[in-house]
């Protein structure tokens, strides 16, 4: 369940409340009975690292090609098209 933060407009007290998505938001302060407002806070979910697919899950051939090209893992690159000579019969 998500944690919501509320601030009382009368006394200034801030509190965190665990609520379900379908619960009604708080409207009164439990300390003084004043009106509260829901605050916007930072998420605890943070994405960090070099990348997702290219650096972490790319095939071995793709990783080798990136190393040879000297490309930064964050830079976007299009794969080069290969032209092969037709096989002789």
Full residue range of the structural domain in which residue 5 is found: 1-71
Residue 17 resides in a domain: yes
Domains in the chain: how many in total? 1
pLDDT of residue 79: 56
**DSSP-based helix, strand, coil % in the chain, nearest 5:** 15, 20, 65
pLDDT of residue 58: 61
Range in 31-35, 44-48, 67-71 with the lowest mean pLDDT:
44-48
Average pLDDT over residues 16-26: 90
Alpha helices in the chain (DSSP H): 53-56, 60-69
Main-chain dihedrals φ then ψ at residue 5, nearest 5 degrees = -110, 135
Residue 46: count other Cβ atoms within 10 Å of its Cβ. Answer: 6
Residue 4 resides in a domain: yes
């Amino acid at each position: 369940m998500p944690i919501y933060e509320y601030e009382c407009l009368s006394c200034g007290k801030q509190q965190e409340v665990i609520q379900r998505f379908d619960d009604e938001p708080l409207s009164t302060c439990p300390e003084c009975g004043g009106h509260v407002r829901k605050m916007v806070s930072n998420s605890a979910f943070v994405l960090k690292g070099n990348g997702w697919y290219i650096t972490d899950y790319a095939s071995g051939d793709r990783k080798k090609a990136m190393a040879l090209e000297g490309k930064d893992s964050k830079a976007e690159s299009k794969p080069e098209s290969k032209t092969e000579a037709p096989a002789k019969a």
